[in-house]
Structure 1
Amino acid sequence: MTGGNEVTANSNEYPVAVDDRQFLVRCINDVERGRAASFLSKEPETVRWLKAEMVPATVFWDVGANVGLFSLYAAILQPTAQILAFEPAAHNYASLCDNIVINGFTNIVPFSVALGQGNLAFDELYLSKVEAGSSIHHVGAKSPWAESEPVFRQPCVKVSIDSMVLDHGFPTPTLLKIDVDGLELGILDGARTVLNQVKSVLVELDANDPSEISAATNLLEQAGFRLTETSRREKTINRKLPRNHIWMNAALHPLD
């Protein structure tokens, strides 16, 4: 499938339909099936944001791609856009690659890389689970979002967005989604140089942590961004309240 065409799912492939478009998600467990089934209802603001902001020239960086649902949706919205999907957890990365293959997409490039601060380095990814579709993993230590101890420490490489672009020649993102369960501030800090070229940022933050909200607000406002939407999620995770915050670059995306 190259975007917008009808597809026929095998028994372990779940079709996700959005408006007149459809993509497939390979589901090998209940976690992946749950993600596919709740795609439209869990984060409707992210679906709306992508639908509004994806244009043919977009370079979309999906940081914390998991099994790739938002990258897949972006690909059917704009088959000529560049989509970079970052997912360091090996079990999720494998499913991400599978989903790209079964849909026949050629404009999504997956990277098993953790983004953060500084130049390319080696670290450990603390995994909360090893089932495909799982989340709440953390680089360098147990996630503050995790309710139980990690089950595995997976070696990984990490690097900043600035280093990816300036040192390694990656295309600068024009649309940036960051959802990594606790490492968002470090990733934003590692993108200070290229942020002025980003049109819009969607970042998940803990609404129960005023210091995190303040730090993200200060960093993004200094880069010329203005907050335009905050999701209304009420379900907490280990006393954390994850809500998506959507920011627009006033210089590149004039506000009314």
Structure 2
Amino acid sequence: MSPDVERILTKIKFGKPFRAHDVTIIHTLVDETRVSFCVDMENDPIQRNHRRGQFYEQKELKDLKRLFPEGGTFVDIGANVGNHSLYAALILKAGKVIPVEPNLLAFRLLIHNVLINRLEHVFDLSKLGVGLSEKAEQGYAMQKRERNLGGAKMLPGEGDLMVVPGDALLAGVTPDLIKIDVEGMEMMALAGLEDTISSHNPVLLVEVDNENEDAFFAWAEAHDYVIDKTVQRYRLNKNHLLIHKSQAGDVAAE
């Protein structure tokens, strides 16, 4: 656990004040469920949706209802400010949500979103402050961005952040769905999740850069995954929703 996360979680655990600096709070209703969003950036596509009182990629998120079991475990790799994590907890009724996010500017807001929605009992926040790759390495920094916080890449050799294999970070976890949005590092993240994915065959939602598509499709075929749906919002990448072949017949029958 990173020192930043440890300090924040210690404050929460012992009831010490954890101040939100310059945060605007949006209260809204989504699918008849009360949702609150904390926002602090004007020029950010995810927070722009939150300011409007809706989830980012809300239409695509609704499609997960047919694949995610109520009470299941949702792993959000590249969680940013918690858009998908909040949806999983509040709308999909996940029993456990595990966000993974290395960027302090993002996960600090994610924690505020968890607290204001009273979701501490659902979230495991101990995986924040690190990134995922195929092996453990130190020395990464987050790219600084004044807009599109989620587009920040991890820069090797420029800081003190750590990346670790997902198998080590998620030891003992049985995920029902893993979402991966790691700004071009998706193949390295998947390589580090080999045991977790092979053991549990979770549903996968992966943002894939165009340059990684061939490698990604080859990975999916080798691991007996089939694409259930693809959505392209941006020119440089696509979101692929995948299910394991062992579950494809059950999904088709629904």
- TM-score over 0.5 for the pair: yes
Conservation of the 8 A alpha-carbon contact between 1:72 and 1:100 = yes
Match of 2:122 in 1: 107
Superposition CA RMSD, Å = 2.5
State the Cα deviation string for residues 150-186 of structure 1 (Å, max 9, x = none): xxx5421211112223xxx341322010011111111
State the Cα deviation string for residues 127-160 of structure 1 (Å, max 9, x = none): 13267x6122223449xxxxxxxxxx54212111
State the Cα deviation string for residues 18-72 of structure 1 (Å, max 9, x = none): 2212311111231364141468585245312332233234211101111001101
Match of 2:209 in 1: 206
Whichever residue aligns with residue 84 of structure 2, its letter is F
Which deviates further from its counterpart, 86-95 or 169-178? 169-178
Whichever residue aligns with residue 107 of structure 1, its letter is V
CA distance in 1, matches of 2:159, 2:106: 13
- Unmatched tracts of structure 1, length 5 or more: 1-10, 143-152
Match of 2:179 in 1: 177
CA distance in 1, matches of 2:220, 2:152: 25
Q: Of 226, 237, 244, which aligns to 2:239?
A: 244
CA distance in 1, matches of 2:106, 2:83: 11
Match of 1:216 in 2: 216
* Structure 1 residues 60-209: aligned runs within 5 Å: 60-79=74-93, 81-105=95-119, 106-110=121-125, 111-118=128-135, 120-129=136-145, 134-141=149-156, 153-165=158-170, 169-196=171-198, 197-207=200-210, 209=211
CA distance in 1, matches of 2:66, 2:29: 17
CA distance in 2, matches of 1:138, 1:104: 30
Among the aligned pairs, what percent are the same residue? 22
Match of 1:6 in 2: none
State the Cα deviation string for residues 71-106 of structure 1 (Å, max 9, x = none): 011101344511100110011111011110111002
- Residues 28 and 41 from structure 1, CA distance in 2 versus in 1: closer, same or farther, beyond 3 angstroms? closer
Structure-2-length-normalised TM-score: 0.78
Structure-1-length-normalised TM-score: 0.77
More helix by share: 2
CA distance in 1, matches of 2:113, 2:58: 21
